[in-house]
Structure 1
């Protein structure tokens, strides 16, 4: 794969080999197109990442030559499709250092993964029990818990945010207590870019005997994640933010917990046996994969994992750290621009949200779009975080392994143009 060939003598990020960004970009057909006659500058990877040709081809080849349903047929195509699906699960398990591939549940996205835990674990809550989240969560890690607490009578509590966009842990011991049954937090904020240091929280969760779930949708694609090292009980992430296709996400959970949880959806393939008088359920992962699963999407996700591994997650993380430092400096030159979240490239990801004076983010986004610069505007499915800082919406630029400093320069020029147009 040409994208990961490192030319001899290429400089390094410390002990980590630096990859050739231009060779990486050559693997992404969409990055060569224009928008409104302008070269495409894609700075919306926190929303969805672009896809390399290797992922596109892997899915096309599956549909062209191996298409069949899985775990149902004894014919050759069925066996090939099942093997491909199982192979993808094994790749994902290895990518996050899961002790067993049986702990990897394929879902349609991270939202479904979070809902599975909220409904299966949360459905067993009762009045007096407590669930803890935070003010920086994506709506997919707020609304399911609100619904469950309304249904069961449990209480929902949350960490607040500091002025710098970090979790306020000042009341950790009071917030996470003997009544707490599960703490579900975002690991890397999709709106503030904050990477949450979870060690103190994990220690407190273990002390009170609660469970810990992390939304890793903005972590796994950029730095990888080790479920053993982080001592978590569940994580959720999604394929389309890590070079894979839409329509597939991942729930990882400890195998003993998954096998003790009631299923979320009922139907084909998730059963042990069915009688008119009752049903018994299969063990994980089948227990949580009712119906025909996202087979080709799993193949595509497996190809995305291969691609990321071939470059190296450490190299990707260092590349993004350099980009973030560069962007923070470059954006500081734009008069009237205010960044929300950490102002330094330490403890933050490659996502930067900001306001530009009194110009509405939607107007900023339209100006940038006319110049070919693609960013996201709005509340980013994190409205409580916007409320915390008293803003209705933010403009967000987010970077990935294919982003260049030249694209950040294009963003700054576009913001300067927006200032001139609305001043």
Structure 2
């Protein structure tokens, strides 16, 4: 095997691009599959889980990897596109081994797993040889293990030890953390992290949800299938569930709350801050398949005396949905929905063509009729298609802007209800790979 380092820490592989011999990227590393073995024998590395388009995990045998670098992995070009399914005899390093609490063989002190390292052998196999651990404060019963020197290091430095110096990886652990897993995928987009979360067991999903901050968890929830959303929200403490709902876009929060029993929905709405709950309550009054039920209540709104420069500064917000950033709505104060009188829309391309000091009131498009909240989903789709829009204003009968409906929300509701799950679970026809089957072996029990 060429271009392979003597030791690779596995958590650092998360998200690394995978290339074929021609230099074309085929996907990114999601995880590493190992087989635990009896006794203190180091686990055997079977291969990589690589995510290929469209968000489908496939198995890449480690024997086909030719180069491992800090920012790229190259394989020999042979890849079975059959969807990866973990077998009972297999363990996912990033999803299942990071953050575990294991114990030192000498002294039985508990330590937390920060990372594990794999090394190649002369026979082209890879074995997990080292474990990076951090001492759990207080040790066993609050004291260091007898006859042992505490593993403390200045500044919380981790300690790299041999695989056979710890035990406990095969035991079921309740309350396992998820900081290491989250750190491994911290640069992922919410939709991609949602794909990872969807593949985890219910236990690990709960642990990841507990470790994510409210904003990040809200972003991930918005990208998950509805069943996963309900499961995760139901496992959170009720006060935290309300905080997460506050961090979600109001339309997504309303969609999720609309699937909950009335009593649970009302309890969560009551726990939310009144100013955060108010737009969600308004959205819940509209049918799901109407413009009112599909809109977001947080479009970009400016007063008529705002300048082009001010409007452009608003849509440059990196946290803004690209579809929402495609236009600015001009309304008389107040500019929080429901606003004062709606005057019209200024599209971002028009903003780019005008001098920065220009007032938006002078370039507003007032000829395009806005949508009414009772308009059907089909009518909304035809409206956006007819006028080549990424979003459209939703205005009540008194001329107040209620919100904006974006093309992504329309597609979300036009596609089958389980489209997110279908994307994550997408399969491709593929014949069995003899090399893969030989490498992965049986389907149950520890490898001997």
Structure 2 length as normaliser, TM-score?
0.25
Mark the structure with the bigger radius of gyration: 2
Structure in which a larger fraction of residues adopt helix? 1
Does 1 or 2 have the higher relative contact order (CA < 8 Å, sep 6+)? Answer: 1
Structure 1 length as normaliser, TM-score?
0.26
